């Protein structure tokens, strides 16, 4: 039987990827060098390093391409160690920053942490034969033809978990759905974040029998008990969490304007890096405002502003605040995790730089639980309405609560599925 055009193209892809890698990687490394980033760890990604031998072990493999995906696996990693203690755990990442975070968070939990192989058939084959996984779970949307083929050839169940297809990617994917259908045929299942993602995967060629909704792993976070009383009184408390250089000035400008409307308004500032503490103190002093320090056990009885100069308390401080500005978003940092505040039903405001959590903000904005503002004026106007219109604030707070309810349940789903797969 003659092959289709798409099948021929995939055969060509399989044969030319080794030479493609040799041609492309030096160019990428040159660009990375210009931007003072480390080179691609090519030997690890081509599996040319000595690999551990798991041939006699039962292995579960998890993959998160970069920081956001690796972070989202945290509770799943812990649950796997609890529920499947007789299995070895291998974690892979695609980026250097993802690898660093994986070692930091899971170094003592995982049995092996390494890079996901480049999509070269021989490298993928060597990787699969060395790791010998009983199941592979890939976070979000990573479609690698040669890796998927190797899993199929070695009878390794391969699943996409927390699967999503963004509005931006979907129009491009639909144009090549005949190719994607061939690749998706090598996946054992697709577990999606939403009904929309499920529909999109099926339209791209995934089997309707093995594609289902699991909800969102990134929402599998727990509330932290807060035994802190900063004596803010009945006036609203704004928290500016994980602020970076120049952000304190932006927040303070809006805060001073708001105090002309709400004289007793309170502000809690939590710099991302405490090495900037003296700098932040000076910024507040120069603004003519009085502040206290958390380390001194200061409260809002005698201060309009408190600097959170302690480690590990930010998450629970969101619980006692009313409105959260999430820092790292008025520069090129890419923002920080808004869910740390949303879980307490606190309306979230961010600046325009949200690349690290774009998918989360997309969900929060769709549910009207968060605001992404473009400039200082929009920040002020958004804060003003949340501070001055209590009915509006309550509506947004309820949206936050509903958003979490709609997106939680992924962890329980995955543990149940893993038990069925591994029986």
For 77-115, how does the pLDDT look when each residue is reduced to its tens digit (9 = 90+)?
999 999 999 999 999 999 988 999 999 999 999 999 999
On the question of pLDDT at 259 being above 70, the answer is yes
Mean pLDDT score of the chain: 94
Q: Give domain limits for the chain.
A: 54-220+408-422, 237-406
Fold matches, 54-220+408-422 and 237-406 = yes
138: which strand partners?
63, 160
* Runs of H (alpha helix) within 107-194: 121-131, 145-153, 170-175, 177-184
- 291-293 vs 305-307, strand pairing mode: parallel
Contact 182, 38 (CB under 8 A): no
Q: How much is the pLDDT for 222?
A: 84
What does the alpha-carbon distance between residue 73 and residue 76 come to, in Å, rounded to a whole number?
A: 5
Q: What is the average per-residue pLDDT within 327-341?
A: 94
Domain covering 54-220+408-422 in this structure, CATH number: 3.40.50.11720
Q: Which residues contact 101 (CB under 8 A, 6 or more apart)?
A: 67, 70, 71, 93
- DSSP states along 282-341: HHHHHTT--EEEGGGT--TTS-SEEE--SSS-HHHHHHH-SEEEESS-SSSS----THHH
Residue 166: pLDDT band with limits 50, 70, 90: confident
Average pLDDT over residues 316-324: 95
> Per-residue confidence at 1, pLDDT binned at 50, 70, 90?
low
pLDDT, average across residues 233-261? 95
| pLDDT at residue 61 in the model | 98
Q: Which residue has the higher pLDDT, 88 or 231?
A: 88
Superfamily of domain 237-406: Glycogen Phosphorylase B; (3.40.50.2000)
pLDDT for the residue 22? 81
């Amino acid at each position: 039987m003659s092959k289709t055009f798409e099948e021929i193209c995939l055969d060509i892809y399989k044969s030319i990827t080794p030479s493609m890698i040799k041609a492309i990687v030096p160019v990428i490394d040159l660009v990375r060098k210009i931007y003072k980033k480390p080179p691609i760890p090519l030997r690890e990604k081509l599996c040319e390093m000595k690999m551990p031998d798991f041939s006699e072990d039962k292995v579960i493999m998890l993959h998160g391409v970069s920081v956001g995906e690796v972070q989202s696996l945290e509770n799943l990693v812990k649950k796997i160690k609890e529920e499947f203690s007789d299995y070895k755990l291998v974690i892979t990442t695609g980026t250097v920053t993802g690898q660093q975070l994986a070692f930091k968070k899971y170094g003592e939990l995982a049995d092996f942490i390494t890079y996901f192989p480049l999509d070269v058939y021989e490298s993928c084959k060597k990787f699969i034969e060395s790791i010998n996984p009983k199941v592979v779970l890939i976070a979000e949307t990573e479609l690698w033809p040669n890796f998927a083929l190797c899993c199929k050839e070695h009878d390794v169940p391969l699943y996409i978990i927390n699967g999503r297809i963004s509005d931006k990617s979907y129009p491009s994917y639909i144009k090549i759905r005949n190719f994607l259908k061939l690749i998706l045929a090598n996946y054992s299942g697709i577990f999606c974040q939403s009904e929309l993602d499920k529909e999109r995967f099926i339209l791209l060629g995934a089997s309707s029998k093995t594609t289902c909704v699991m909800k969102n792993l990134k929402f599998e976070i727990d509330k932290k008990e807060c035994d802190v009383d900063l004596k803010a009184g009945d006036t609203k408390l704004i928290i500016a969490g994980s602020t970076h250089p120049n952000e304190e000035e932006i927040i303070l400008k809006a805060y001073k304007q708001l105090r002309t409307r709400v004289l007793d308004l309170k502000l809690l500032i939590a710099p991302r890096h405490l090495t900037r503490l003296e700098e932040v103190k000076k910024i507040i002093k120069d603004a003519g405002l009085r502040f206290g320090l958390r380390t001194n056990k200061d409260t809002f009885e005698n201060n309009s502003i408190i600097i959170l100069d302690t480690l590990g308390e930010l998450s629970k401080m969101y619980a006692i605040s009313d409105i959260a500005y999430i820092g790292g978003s008025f520069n090129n940092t890419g923002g920080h995790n808004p869910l740390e505040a949303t879980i307490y039903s606190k309306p979230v405001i961010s600046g325009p730089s949200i690349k690290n959590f774009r998918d989360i903000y997309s969900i929060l904005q769709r549910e009207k639980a968060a605001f992404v503002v473009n400039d200082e004026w929009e920040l002020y106007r958004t804060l003003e309405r949340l501070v001055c219109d209590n009915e509006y604030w309550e509506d947004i707070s309820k949206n936050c609560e509903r958003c979490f309810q709609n997106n939680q349940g992924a962890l329980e789903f995955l543990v149940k599925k893993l038990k069925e797969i591994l029986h």
